[in-house]
Amino acid sequence: MNRREALQQVAWLMGGTISAPAVLGMLSGCSAHSDPAWTPVFLTQEQAALVGDVAEIIIPRTDTPGAKDIGIPALIDRMLKDVYPKADQDRFIAGLSDFVSQTRHHYKRGFAQLDRDTQVATVRSATETAMAAERAHPGPERLPRPFMLMTRELTLLGYFTSLPGSSQVLQYNPVPGPYRGCVPLAQAGNGKSWATEQAQRF
């Protein structure tokens, strides 16, 4: 799997940019893998559970594995501890705490106690608000990415650089066949985007 191609795809999903620590972590070989015995080393158990719930909303289990199935919460925990500078770590934890407080204030319950539709709506609203703030920022330097967008970024990166993400969700063909210049995507890749740079040239 070509990680640079995955970075390009996730940058497109994130509106054009990926944070430097996320790029560094992915290019250094950080990857998601399922580990039933995993325990968080940076986040608390409660924080890790919430991050896992948010990641699963971003990429839920369908006919392919979801974010939790492939170990995205563990990847986020490890990236925060080993790659992100303290300012980013502090911003992530502060944003997570703020998200918990706002959810409890609005619904009088914790995020885990909300029904699925309300959880999805809450995450979507927070994501759209954060992305709108990024787009509206006039300066040449982008705003520091908040908790929700950091979680989204790491979830997408971890998922699409994992074996299930690159082989089951994206169209993966390590040895492409003959060149066919102009065919519909449905014919070229069964309706999926390509997972490798080599295959994308077709």
Q: Which domain holds residue 10?
A: 3-170
Same domain for 146 and 108, yes or no, is yes
The secondary structure of 169-199 as a DSSP string is ISB--SS--S--SS--HHHHHTTPPBSSHHH
Q: Other CB atoms closer than 10 Å to residue 31's CB: what's the count?
A: 18
Same domain for 114 and 191, yes or no, is no
The amino acid at 37: A
Same domain for 106 and 196, yes or no, is no
Is this prediction's pTM over 0.75? no
User: For 146-186, how does the pLDDT look when each residue is reduced to its tens digit (9 = 90+)?
Assistant: 899 999 989 988 888 776 665 655 554 555 555 666 666 66
3-state secondary structure of 44: coil
Same domain for 154 and 191, yes or no, is no
Q: Which helix (H) or strand (E) holds 41?
A: none
Q: Evaluate whether 164 touches 65 at the Cβ level (below 8 Å).
A: yes
Predicted pLDDT of residue 96: 97
**What's the rounded Cα separation, in Å, for the pair 160 and 14?**
13
The amino acid at 146: P
Number of domains in the chain: 2
Same domain for 125 and 156, yes or no, is yes
User: For 47-93, how does the pLDDT look when each residue is reduced to its tens digit (9 = 90+)?
Assistant: 999 999 999 999 999 888 889 998 999 999 998 998 899 999 999 99
Same domain for 47 and 75, yes or no, is yes
Same domain for 121 and 200, yes or no, is no
Same domain for 179 and 116, yes or no, is no
Q: What share of the chain is helix, strand, coil (3-state, %, to 5)?
A: 60, 0, 40
Q: Evaluate whether 193 touches 171 at the Cβ level (below 8 Å).
A: yes
Up-side HSE of residue 146: CA atoms within 13 Å toward CB? 16
User: For 106-136, how does the pLDDT look when each residue is reduced to its tens digit (9 = 90+)?
Assistant: 999 999 999 999 999 999 999 999 888 888 8
Same domain for 140 and 188, yes or no, is no
**Residues belonging to the chain:** 202
Same domain for 43 and 143, yes or no, is yes
Same domain for 175 and 130, yes or no, is no
Q: Which helix (H) or strand (E) holds 25?
A: helix 20-27
Same domain for 99 and 182, yes or no, is no
